């Protein structure tokens, strides 16, 4: 039976209280200390404890992602929603920024010309940027597939890939492609789960550890 008695919590204490509840409900489960704050941030965003099992991390992906952000490496998202959810103030403090090219006219033209998705074309545009990037993909599996192709072609060298698209068509396959990479750090939501909010939550979890 649900306890209908409301808790008296000050606005500034709501997040802290939420994390206390998450920790309590995880019970005796022991999380990898390096990945724990990312997992809890995603659970906080989704209220879905299955992410404790579904989030997969390559070796020291969190540490490598934080190190990249400290260098001011930019973040590329596949949706404006994902971009909106990332803490811009935290990014600006470390000299970083977040970009999304999905709505750019040249991306739309490229997608039409090549008969592909805008998400795919936006990854091609990102590959044209100077320097390395962190990619946070929360919606389009075609973006992950294109990232995989660009990496294999030697045209892109991401510092971290956050691969958490949600859905049914080629979602699992696209994530498995990213997890097959041996030289690129990744954080992937195994299976069909994910979303732009999850991608943003992971980026924020990294930022809040700086």
Catalytically annotated residues? 44
Residue where the block lists tokens 């990898």: 32
């Amino acid at each position: 039976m649900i306890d209908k008695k409301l808790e008296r919590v000050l606005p500034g204490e709501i997040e802290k209280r939420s994390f206390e509840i998450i920790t309590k409900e995880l019970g005796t489960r022991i999380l990898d200390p390096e990945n724990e704050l990312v997992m809890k941030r995603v659970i906080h965003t989704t209220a879905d404890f299955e992410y404790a099992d579904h989030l997969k991390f390559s070796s020291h992906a969190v540490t490598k992602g934080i190190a990249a952000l400290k260098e001011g490496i930019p973040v590329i998202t596949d949706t404006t929603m994902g971009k909106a959810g990332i803490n811009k103030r935290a990014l600006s403090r470390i000299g970083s920024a977040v970009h999304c090219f999905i709505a750019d006219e040249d991306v739309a033209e490229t997608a039409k010309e090549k008969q592909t998705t805008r998400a795919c074309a936006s990854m091609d545009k990102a590959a044209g940027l100077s320097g390395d990037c962190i990619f946070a993909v929360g919606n389009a599996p075609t973006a992950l597939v294109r990232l995989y192709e660009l990496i294999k072609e030697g045209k892109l060298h991401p510092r971290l890939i956050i691969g958490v698209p949600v859905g049914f068509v080629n979602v699992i396959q696209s994530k498995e492609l990213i997890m097959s990479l041996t030289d690129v750090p990744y954080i992937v939501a195994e299976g069909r789960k994910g979303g732009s909010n999850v991608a943003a939550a992971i980026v924020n979890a990294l930022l809040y550890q700086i």
